[in-house]
Amino acid sequence: MNKILISVVGPTAIGKTKLAILLAQHFKTEIISADSRQFFTEMNIGTAVPNLDELSQTKHHFIQHKSITEQYTVGDFEREAIQKLSDIFKVHDVVIMVGGSGLYVNAVTDGLNNFPNVDPSIRENLNTELAENGIEALQMKLKQLDPVYFEKVDIYNPQRVIRALEVTIGSGSAYSSFLNKPKAERAFKVLSIGLKAERPLIYERINHRVDLMVESGLLDEAKNLIKYKDYNALQTVGYKELFKYFDGEWKLDFAISEIKKNTRRFAKRQLTWFLRNKDTKWVEHDYNPKALLPEIDNEILNLKHG
């Protein structure tokens, strides 16, 4: 257990990539991305993929390694990431993981054997569907997504049906697959480092990043992906709003304002998720590297000997 995974988390646009590269260079190691939006080759500008200069500074894994036409679940990522970590730990004592996708971070650090936390908006959507379409619609959805649990559950209990659906949809794995399994054991210890800032500053950085994305060609990127707009990978902020613009539903200025608003909401949910981990060491976004790195070194020593 002398192997350490440093997990860099925090809301979008706060500077996680910069810190991850700093740490990777300090420990002379490699980076694993746990940002589910950056897995896909066709999505570049709208997902803020590290630029060529950043990618050249240290070795990255799980950046644009899949196509949006491929099905890729959090369970797939967990298996591949753990294998990659095993390989890297043969050479390095410390590996850096960076990403704002809480479910994917947790998949690596804790495993998916226990029920994972999922985006609360999924439950909100299911409750809306229940109110609008009734329990029958949710029953059919559960039968399709998890026929094993459908045969076991009281399908007339909306709370149990919704719980099974939110886990299945949020994780990409059937609810029944999480039943009666022990918690995953890991052959490494985890040091979680979170970047923080005052909320107005986070929102300002988000708005600025969206403006830069638009200037860098986000509209052309989204336009080239219209034929794939129903794929799961593109049901995400920055693309779904522009598809409504291309369909004539929204004006461009409104679509861009919606991207900013929805990204701010996403950042708020990210903070809520990551604040659940009481062991995370929170660092100000404008940290001093010369002061921070010795602190991290001490944290590593304490973990190894703790």
Q: Is 238 annotated as a binding residue?
A: no
Q: Report the C-alpha gap between 218 and 170 in whole angstroms.
A: 27
β 281-284/94-98 pair status: unpaired
Q: Is 170 annotated as a binding residue?
A: no
Q: Report the C-alpha gap between 132 and 119 in whole angstroms.
A: 21
Q: Report the C-alpha gap between 62 and 85 in whole angstroms.
A: 12
Q: Is 15 annotated as a binding residue?
A: yes
Burial call 147-171: b when 16+ CB within 10 Å, e when fewer:
eebbeebebeebebbbbbbbbbbbb
Q: How many CA atoms lie within 13 A of 62 on its CB side?
A: 27
Q: Is 244 annotated as a binding residue?
A: no
Q: Is 82 annotated as a binding residue?
A: no
Number of H helices, E strands in the chain: 13, 6
Q: Is 172 annotated as a binding residue?
A: no
Q: Is 14 annotated as a binding residue?
A: yes
* Number of other residues whose CB lies within 10 A of the CB of residue 261: 16
Q: Is 81 annotated as a binding residue?
A: no
CA angle 40/44/50 to nearest 5° reads 100
* Binding-site residues for substrate: 12-17
* Binding-site residues: 10-17
* Binding-site residues for ATP: 10-17
